[in-house]
Amino acid sequence: MKREQRQRYAPLVLALALVGLAVAFGGYIVYRAFAPVVTVSLTWTVLLLALYVFLVPEKVQSALTGRQARYGSNALILSLAFIGILAVINYVGYQFPKRWDLTADKSHTLTQVTLDTLAKLPQKVTATAFYTSRMPKGNAQNLLDQYAFASHGKFTYKFVNPEAQPTIAQQMGITRDGTVVLQMGDRTEKVTAVTEQDLTSALVRLMHPKKQVVYFLTGHGERSPDDFDDKGYSTAKRELENKNYTVKPLSLLKHKAVPKDANVVIIAAPQKPLSQEEIAALELFIQNGGGVMVLLEPPLKPDTKPGPLVTYLEAKWHLNLTPDLVIDPLANPATVIVSYKYGAHKITDPIKTVATIFPTARSVGVPVPVPDGLDEITLVRSEPKSWAETNLAALQKQQAKEDDKDIKGPVGIAAALENLKTHGRVVVVGDADFASNAYYPAYGNADFFLNSVDWLSKQQELIHLNPRTPTQRVVVLPRRDTLMLLFLAFVFVLPGAVLLAGVVVWARRRRRA
């Protein structure tokens, strides 16, 4: 090949070599390893560089030995020194990581309780976060990353798409998007609301395992956790067991007292009245700090008299449990209550943006004002245009119409009650169908049920994290005349001054010339 031909092809060969080098660099950034595309591209680059040297050896020799080479070597040494300094800084930063939270309220810093919990972890904890592409995961990822950083290798996490990897989701019993499973050894804990309070509480439960026992009352025609029909509670039972609860039946007709291992007793729509002895056993359980969930149903007959359970709730907790049925004229059918209105409470705070559905509900009225020694909050309310129909005879004839005897909306459907002295807790819901197999998976029903059980068993209070009050920042705009002065200064005065200075310099130089 003639010299002219070699010189003509040399730039093309050099350009192809640079392209190969760029592909190799991009491949390494993507794969973080010497993948086949990286190896092939580097080999291609080396071969093309060798061909370039063969085509124009005199140019390469001149570049390595001439004056440009001497200046180029100085630039190369400075570049290598700069790269070396950056490499050392990155190595030191990797070996001794440090973060600074510059926010005024330290919103990106874990509390000391969480840091102490992470330091006391006896073995490694792995968090598996199940998020589909539809569920935003930014906040969860930031929080999990803070846990991993502060744990010094004891806490790791990964995200799994349950739709792309359904086998893993089924093995871990995942039924809701956005669930995080913490695993330490052979023990697991599920977190559905990814907050620092819930994550740290789950870590504490992993370190100090204690079985929480939930009893379902039987003997009065209640909904059964072993019933797989639409009205059964088998789905709720499975979810409770997935959260490490032990679910058992309880007959107070046989046992005259609630078992000592009980944390929560659930009374799901009894068809027959409880005896006074059973009410006394439940009252003693609550006085000893236990938790009871009462799921009522609207009365079926106009002449239905309140049973001992309703009488107890009205007398001891001052609730207003009028025999009625909540009607929403905007719903179809009108007896189905779809609610977005929640009171501020630990049960409802995680679901404040999700609706709950109550197929048939009766009103649950909280007294105003709340008596001393009690803490009572309405958890769920119906829409303002709804009402609680008290004329049950008209309901049977489908002639219900709002009048002065009815309870105006919004109507309370559920309430959380606590005795501040004994710390006994009660959750009363005017509907039992919402947690049945037919409606349990609907919207926020499952979370509302599980959060209620967690609150009753005090699972959310194994630790106490002081809530941070975010710093409020208000931008105060200047007055209009001040804004106009700023506009004139930055848009006209400063650019005009620079332009005037340029004109003056140009005029002086022209005079000298």
**Token pair belonging to 496:** 């005009």
Q: Give every strand in the sheet of 387-389, ordered side by side.
A: 325-327, 387-389, 407-408
Surface-to-core class of residue 189, CB atoms within 10 Å of its CB (0-12 exposed, 13-18 middle, 19+ buried): buried
pLDDT tens for each residue of 330-362: 888 888 999 989 999 989 988 888 899 999 999
**Token pair belonging to 307:** 């049973």
- Selection from 314, 303, 324 nearest residue 405 by Cα: 324
- Selection from 412, 411, 413, 416 nearest residue 427 by Cα: 416
For position 465, what pLDDT does the model report? 56
Residues 6+ apart with CB under 8 A from 354: 443, 444, 447
The residues pairing with 247 across neighbouring beta strands, listed in sequence order, are 214
* 461 CB-side CA count, 13 A: 9
pLDDT tens for each residue of 27-85: 877 776 777 888 888 888 888 888 887 777 777 667 666 665 556 656 666 676 777 77
| Per-residue pLDDT tens digits of the chain, which is 513 residues long | 666 777 777 888 888 888 888 888 888 777 767 778 888 888 888 888 888 877 777 776 676 666 655 566 566 666 767 777 777 777 677 666 677 766 666 667 788 888 888 988 889 999 999 999 888 988 899 999 999 988 888 999 999 999 999 999 888 888 788 899 999 988 888 888 888 888 888 888 888 777 789 999 999 999 999 999 999 999 999 888 877 789 999 999 888 899 999 999 999 999 999 999 999 999 999 999 999 999 999 987 777 788 899 999 999 999 999 898 999 988 888 889 999 899 999 899 888 888 999 999 999 999 889 899 999 999 999 999 898 988 888 777 777 787 888 888 899 999 999 999 999 999 999 999 999 999 998 888 988 998 899 899 887 655 555 555 555 666 777 777 787 888 888 888 888 899 989 888 888 888 886
Torsion sign, CA atoms 406, 407, 410, 416: negative
Q: How far is CA 342 from the centre of its chain?
A: 18
For position 460, what pLDDT does the model report? 63
| Pairwise CA distance, residues 393 & 61, whole Å | 107
| Pairwise CA distance, residues 217 & 432, whole Å | 14
Torsion sign, CA atoms 265, 269, 271, 276: positive
Domain boundaries defined on the chain: 3-95, 112-206, 211-457
Query: Is it true that 112-206 and 211-457 share their CATH fold?
Result: no
Secondary structure (3-state) at 390: coil
Q: Which fold has domain 112-206?
A: Glutaredoxin (3.40.30)
Out of 3.30.2000.20, 3.40.50.720, 3.90.1150.10, 3.40.50.880, which CATH number does the structure's domain 211-457 have?
3.40.50.880
Secondary structure (3-state) at 295: strand
For position 76, what pLDDT does the model report? 63
| Pairwise CA distance, residues 425 & 408, whole Å | 28
| Pairwise CA distance, residues 444 & 340, whole Å | 10
Tell me if 180 sits within 8 A of 129, measured CB to CB.
yes
Helix then strand count (H, E) for the chain reads: 15, 17
Q: What CA–CA distances, in Å, run from 230 to 168, 450, 467?
A: 28, 19, 41
* CB neighbour burial string for 253-280, b if at least 16 within 10 angstroms, e if fewer: eeeeebeeebbbbbbbbbeebbeeebbe
- Selection from 294, 333, 287 nearest residue 313 by Cα: 294
**Token pair belonging to 8:** 């003509």
- Selection from 319, 332, 346 nearest residue 413 by Cα: 319
Secondary structure (3-state) at 245: strand
Backbone angles phi, psi at 25, to 5 degrees: -65, -45
Residue found under tokens 């093995």: 171
| Pairwise CA distance, residues 308 & 329, whole Å | 32
- Work out the angle at residue 199's Cα, subtended by the Cα atoms of residues 193 and 204, and round it to the nearest 5 degrees: 135
For position 374, what pLDDT does the model report? 92
Secondary structure (3-state) at 388: strand
Residue found under tokens 């993507």: 30
| Pairwise CA distance, residues 281 & 40, whole Å | 78
* CB neighbour burial string for 160-182, b if at least 16 within 10 angstroms, e if fewer: bebeeeeeebeebebbebbbbbb
**Token pair belonging to 251:** 């007959």
Residue found under tokens 């350009």: 15
